[in-house]
């Protein structure tokens, strides 16, 4: 805003204040009503939809969908959007670039949009941002709410499994890998990449086990699995799409 | 017939007045409260301007229910945390209600804060002179989200545990500072007992302290600068209409002065509008 605009605003606001009304009780009564209704709504929610206690933690199995609270679904979905076989750049986009750009934009916004106009219909850019950001957040949250949960119970439609690979598949199922990865169309479509053709990469078991122990975020580490399970799991995953289809 | 003492006869009231005067003389609370409560705000402030106050009240509710939960909660990874949550939910009188309010309160607070921000954004209320009010507000939004993240783990059930492992991995994957942030959040390279204690203290001491501080700053700016007027308040609309009228009148004068525009229905727009008023 130019100095003249600032002065004009100050003058206008002083005028508004002079012809205004006292905060108490004129504004505080509205505040009290809305805040009171909000607290009552919370109590009603607490009574009707009770907070539950889930399964106790067992770090040895991830037979579980790592699901955040609904207000982080959008971040979770972002991961799926940027997922890719070569996970580095896209994941950094989803976990680092996009969120940080959004946060910086949020904080410095008043220093970007400095014009004197306050009526929303005369600020097309701000109006566009409102619509796009709100729409995107709602859409991603909705996607997150409807994303398939773990599908471990269904089994995988694969053939050609030898004994070791069958054991490996059991490990895969028991540890909820399918809640982030898809194999032959079964499992969640992200945040992890589709593993149907993972074997085509030609990794050996040692390399794969090293990955299980220290994977790139957001995949959790499986270092606590017994070495035998890791070996079987690596055999299974390294044969996907080549030996086991 | 002399009239003597004209103050209240009731000694209790006398004492109370004297006490208030004593405190006011030294602290200025009376003056301060009066200044705070009876300051003028623009006429026509809207219902949308109640959302900030509502966020504050919900934060207060979270603080109270949180303190009650902390009386029973044990941050112990060997089953203690989980059992204490079970105990609160199933045994403690009204425990299920307190926990339910705290849990739902988190979602409600996020929604209310977001709506508050949306109203500030749409109204352009972050513009001069309220830029710093917005910046402190943005901090409050981030801190509120962080409250949700750290609180989720405390239940120590499978869903929360693995979701938090993934979330912390995401922080740790950031370039340069990421690994350090990961270590700080986990209290080491691995998830374990120290992680839970750390999340507990972040959730109930660090972030609430920061939120209280930023609410204080936020309120200071709000009271100092005054709450903004709706950009479409009656007063503003009146002014805009007057300005528009003046502009039209000027245009008309100009049109009259121009040769060849005698047939121009000069007085039409303003008169038609006046008739509809
Ligand atoms: C815990 C979160 C928050 C609390 C307790 C809070 C509290 C308040 C209160 C009580 C007001 C007075 C007017 C009203 O109620 O609308 C206010 C105004 C304001 N808030 Fe917040 N707020 C929070 C979050 C935010 C956020 C996330 C933003 C934006 C990023 C923000 C930006 C502002 C601005 C710019 C004003 C001045 C608006 C005006 O004068 O019209 N606040 N806030």
The pLDDT profile of chain B, 277 residues, written as one tens digit per residue, is 556 666 667 889 889 989 999 999 999 988 888 888 898 999 888 999 999 999 999 999 999 999 999 999 999 988 899 999 999 999 999 999 999 999 999 999 999 999 999 999 999 999 999 999 999 999 999 999 999 999 999 988 877 887 888 788 778 877 888 889 989 998 988 888 899 999 999 999 999 999 999 999 999 999 999 999 999 999 999 999 999 999 999 999 888 776 655 555 555 555 545 555 4
CA of B116 to the centre of ligand 1 (A): 6
Residue A85 is predicted with a pLDDT of 44
B229 CA to centre of own chain:
18
Distance CA A146, CA B58 (A): 28
Q: How far is CA A10 from CA A33, B48, B70, B132, B199, in A?
A: 31, 23, 47, 17, 45
Residue closest via CA to ligand 1's atom 25 equals B137
pLDDT of amino acid A183: 82
Does residue A29 fall inside a structural domain? yes
Structure token digits, residue A157: 């439609």
Q: Is residue A115 part of a domain?
A: no
ipTM comes to 0.85
Strand partners, A56: B157
Distance between CA A109 and CA A103 in Å, rounded? 10
Q: Which of residues 67-96 of B touch A (CB under 8 A)?
A: 77, 79, 82, 85-86, 89, 96
Structural domain ending residue among the three candidates A12, A33, A52: A52
Q: What is the CATH number of the domain that holds A173?
A: 1.10.760.10
Beta carbons of A75 and A99 less than 8 angstroms apart:
yes
Six token digits for residue B209: 């302290």
What span, in angstroms and rounded, lies between the C-alpha atoms of B177 and B179? 6
Paired sense of beta strands B40-41 and A182-183, if any: unpaired
Task: Look up residue B137 and give its two tokens.
Answer: 């507000």
Residues 16-75 in B contacting A (C-alpha not used; CB under 8 Å): 36-43, 45, 47, 49-51, 53-54, 56-58, 61
Residue to mutate (ligand 1; options B106, B222, B229, B230; most atoms within 8 A of CB): B222
Tokens matching residue A98: 């996009």
Per the structure, the count of domains in chain A is 2
**Which residues are registered as beta bridge partners of A187?**
A182
- The residue among A170, A61, A219, A218 whose CA lies nearest residue B158 is A61
Residues of A in contact with B112 (CB under 8 A): 38
Query: For residues B159 and A6, what is the distance between their CA atoms, to the nearest angstrom?
Result: 52
Give the per-residue pLDDT at B2: 59
A204 domain residue, yes or no: yes
Q: What is the pLDDT of residue A149?
A: 57
A189 in a structural domain:
yes
CA separation (Å) from B148 to A72, A138, A220, B107, B227? 9, 18, 21, 8, 29
Assess if residue A200 is contained within a domain: yes
Helix intervals (H) in B28-94: 29-37, 51-70, 80-90
The alpha carbon dihedral of B44, B48, B50, B53 has a sign of negative
Domain boundary among A10, A29, A52: A52
Q: How far is CA A189 from CA A80, A146, B8, in A?
A: 7, 12, 77
Calpha distance B270→B268 (Å, rounded) = 6
Nearest to B41 among A27, A46, A47 (CB): A27
Determine the structural domain holding residue A37 and report its residue range.
21-52
Residue A63 lies in a domain: no
Cβ contact B152:B255 at 8 Å = no
Please return the burial class of A227, using the count of CB atoms within 10 Å of its CB with bins 0-12, 13-18 and 19+: exposed
Q: What H or E segment, with its residue span, contains residue A161?
A: none
Question: Which of B56, B79, B134 shows the shortest C-beta gap to A110?
Answer: B134
**Partner residue facing A6 (CB), from B51, B128, B239:** B128
Q: What is the pLDDT of residue A152?
A: 46
Q: Could you check whether the bond before residue B129 is cis, i.e. omega within 30 degrees of 0?
A: yes
Q: Which of A10, A33, A52 is the last residue of a domain?
A: A52
A141 vs B273: CA distance, rounded Å: 47
Instruction: Report if residue A232 sits inside a domain.
Output: yes
Q: Is A178 exposed, middle or buried (0-12, 13-18, 19+ CB in 10 A)?
A: buried
Pairwise CA distance, residues B268 & B261, whole Å: 14
Q: How would you label B68-85 residue by residue, b for 16+ Cβ within 10 Å and e otherwise?
A: bbeeebebebeeebbebb
Residues forming a β-bridge with A207: none
Whether residue A32 is contained in a domain is answered as: yes
- Crossing angle for the helix pair A98-112 and A73-82, to the nearest 10 degrees: 120
B123/A120 Cβ within 8 A: yes
Q: How far is CA B142 from CA B70, B136, B275, in A?
A: 23, 10, 52
pLDDT in 10s for each residue of chain A, 245 residues? 889 999 999 999 999 999 999 998 889 999 999 999 999 999 999 999 988 887 777 665 555 666 788 998 888 888 777 765 455 566 677 778 888 999 999 999 999 999 999 999 999 999 999 999 999 999 999 988 887 654 444 567 777 788 888 888 888 877 778 777 888 777 776 678 888 888 888 898 999 999 988 887 778 788 878 899 899 999 999 988 888 87
């Amino acid at each position: 805003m130019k100095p003249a605009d600032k002065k004009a605003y100050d003058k206008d606001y002083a005028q508004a204040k002079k012809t205004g009304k006292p905060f108490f009780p004129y504004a505080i009564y509205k505040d009290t009503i809305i805040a009171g209704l909000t607290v009552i709504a919370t109590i009603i929610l607490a009574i009707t939809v009770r907070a539950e206690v889930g399964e106790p933690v067992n770090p040895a199995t991830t037979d579980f969908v790592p699901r955040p609270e609904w207000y982080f679904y959008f971040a979770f979905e972002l991961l799926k959007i940027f997922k890719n076989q070569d996970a580095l750049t896209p994941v950094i986009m989803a976990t680092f670039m996009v969120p940080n750009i959004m946060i910086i934009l949020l904080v410095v916004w008043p220093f970007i949009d400095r014009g004197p106009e306050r009526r929303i219909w005369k600020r097309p850019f701000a109006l566009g941002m409102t619509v796009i950001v709100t729409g995107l957040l709602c859409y991603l949250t909705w996607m997150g709410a409807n994303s398939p949960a773990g599908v471990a119970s269904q089994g995988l439609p694969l053939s050609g499994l030898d004994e070791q690979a069958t054991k490996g598949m059991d490990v895969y199922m028991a540890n909820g890998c399918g809640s982030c990865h898809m194999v032959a169309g079964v499992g969640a479509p992200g945040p992890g990449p589709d593993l149907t053709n993972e074997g085509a990469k030609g990794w050996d078991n040692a390399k794969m086990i090293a990955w299980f122990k220290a994977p790139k975020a957001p995949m959790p580490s499986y270092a606590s699995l017994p070495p035998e399970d890791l070996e079987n799991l690596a055999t299974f995953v390294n044969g996907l799409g080549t030996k086991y289809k | 017939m002399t009239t003597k003492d004209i103050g209240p006869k009731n000694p209790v009231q006398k004492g109370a007045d004297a006490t208030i005067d004593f405190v006011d003389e030294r602290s200025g609370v009376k003056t301060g409260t009066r200044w705070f409560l009876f300051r003028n705000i623009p006429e026509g402030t809207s219902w949308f301007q109640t959302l900030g106050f509502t966020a504050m009240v919900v934060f207060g509710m979270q603080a109270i229910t949180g303190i009650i939960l902390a009386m029973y909660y044990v941050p112990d990874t060997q089953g203690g945390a989980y059992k204490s949550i079970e105990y609160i939910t199933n045994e403690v009188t009204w425990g299920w209600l307190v926990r339910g309010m705290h849990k739902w309160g988190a979602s409600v607070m996020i929604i209310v804060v977001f709506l508050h921000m949306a109203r500030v954004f749409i109204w352009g209320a972050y513009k001069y002179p309220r830029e710093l009010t917005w910046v402190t507000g943005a901090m409050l939004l981030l801190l509120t989200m962080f409250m949700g993240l750290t609180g989720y783990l405390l239940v120590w059930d499978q869903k929360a545990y693995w979701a938090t492992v993934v979330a912390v991995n995401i922080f740790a994957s950031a370039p340069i500072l990421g690994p350090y942030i990961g270590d700080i959040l986990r209290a080491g390279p691995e998830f374990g007992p120290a992680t839970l204690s750390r999340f507990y203290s972040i959730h109930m001491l660090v972030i609430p302290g920061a939120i209280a501080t930023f609410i204080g700053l936020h309120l200071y700016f709000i009271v100092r600068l005054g709450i903004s007027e709706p950009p479409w308040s009656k007063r503003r609309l009146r002014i805009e209409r007057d300005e528009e009228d003046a502009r039209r009148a000027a245009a008309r004068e100009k049109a009259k002065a121009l040769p060849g525009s005698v047939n121009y229905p000069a007085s039409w727009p303003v008169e038609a509008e006046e008739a509809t008023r």
